């Protein structure tokens, strides 16, 4: 049986002085692939930032279990236009994921860091792009680079916030395939925020439906039979 990796106990959080996450409880096990869904403003991204320690918890407790440390968590945020034009080569961006793992500023990268970077590039199928300028890549290639950076910093848990936003359907499906491979082949536990409920149900093994509080937490099959699932999915909403 897989060990628990993350536990949230009655977690509440605010954004712009407004309560957006209320009394959230759930537990994630090693090897899980959890997709967080819900309407805009339901607190999905805020909750992710709380797990990362980037936003404060108003009340409750977020527990990292079985030795998991925050600097062992990889994070792929939503990409901005400024990031798309970032003037650096691919290998520089990916290896920057190693910063902070040792808990202090490193003036240079170690041989181990460089090995992690190359392995991350190989895992995402973009080793041939390592010397390319990031700003000259396609949108799909850029997302692979950012995912490789997150993988470079992750050891056990990967947090993804809308990883296919702005990508066409073919490239989106490729990204979903890569994420599923990271989970199943490489043993990476995944939490992904998504508006694509159909792909979430095809790829994840658990669903967290937020509407400030937890509307549903459990397996994909149970979600389809739940009130939240029928209302959200059966009603034709594009989450």
Strands (E), the chain: 4-15, 18-29, 33-37, 59-64, 73-76, 157-161, 189-193, 206-211, 213-219
- Separation of alpha carbons 44 and 163, rounded Å: 13
Question: What was the pLDDT predicted at 234?
Answer: 60
pLDDT per residue as tens digits for the range 149-192: 999 988 789 999 999 988 999 999 999 999 999 999 999 999 99
Q: Please tell me whether residue 17 adopts helix, strand or coil conformation.
A: coil
Reference 174, options 200, 144, 151; nearest CA is 144
- Separation of alpha carbons 145 and 94, rounded Å: 7
Reference 126, options 166, 157, 93, 101; nearest CA is 93
- Separation of alpha carbons 59 and 110, rounded Å: 39
Give domain limits for the chain: 1-68+159-239, 79-155
When pLDDT is averaged across residues 105-120 and rounded to a whole number, the result is: 82
Whether this model's pTM surpasses 0.85:
yes
167 and 143 Cβ atoms separated by less than 8 Å: yes
pLDDT per residue as tens digits for the range 75-106: 999 876 656 777 899 999 999 988 865 444 55
Torsion of CA 176, 178, 179, 183, to 10 degrees: 130
12: phi then psi, degrees, rounded to nearest 5: -125, 140
The DSSP symbol for 196 reads -
Return the bridge partners of 190, or none: 33, 158
Return the CATH superfamily for domain 1-68+159-239. Answer: P-loop containing nucleotide triphosphate hydrolases (3.40.50.300)
pLDDT per residue as tens digits for the range 184-231: 999 999 999 998 888 889 999 999 999 989 999 999 999 999 998 888
- Separation of alpha carbons 95 and 82, rounded Å: 19
Maximum Cα–Cα distance across the chain: 54
194 and 45 Cβ atoms separated by less than 8 Å: no
Please name the helix (run of DSSP H) or strand (run of DSSP E) that holds residue 60, with its range, or none: strand 59-64
């Amino acid at each position: 049986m897989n060990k628990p990796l993350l536990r949230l106990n009655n977690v509440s959080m605010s954004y712009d002085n407004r309560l957006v996450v209320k009394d959230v409880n759930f537990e994630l096990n090693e090897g899980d692939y959890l997709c967080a869904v819900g309407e805009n403003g339901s607190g999905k991204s805020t909750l992710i930032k709380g797990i990362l320690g980037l936003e404060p918890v108003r009340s409750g407790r977020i527990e990292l279990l079985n030795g998991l440390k925050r600097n062992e968590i990889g994070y792929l945020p939503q990409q901005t236009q400024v990031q798309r034009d970032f003037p650096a080569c691919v290998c520089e961006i990916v290896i920057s994921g190693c910063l902070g793992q040792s808990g202090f500023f490193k003036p240079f990268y170690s041989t181990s860091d460089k090995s992690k970077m190359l392995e991350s590039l190989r895992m995402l199928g973009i080793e041939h792009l390592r010397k390319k300028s990031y700003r000259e890549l396609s949108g799909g290639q850029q997302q692979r680079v950012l995912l490789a950076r997150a993988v470079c910093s992750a050891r056990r848990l990967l947090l993804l916030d809308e990883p296919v936003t702005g990508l066409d359907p073919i490239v989106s499906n490729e990204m979903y395939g890569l994420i599923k491979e990271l989970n199943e082949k490489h043993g990476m536990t995944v939490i992904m925020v998504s508006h694509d409920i159909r792909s979430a149900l095809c790829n994840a093994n658990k669903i967290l439906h937020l509407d400030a509080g937890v509307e549903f937490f459990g397996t994909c099959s149970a979600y389809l039979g739940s009130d939240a699932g029928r209302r959200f999915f059966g009603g034709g909403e594009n989450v």
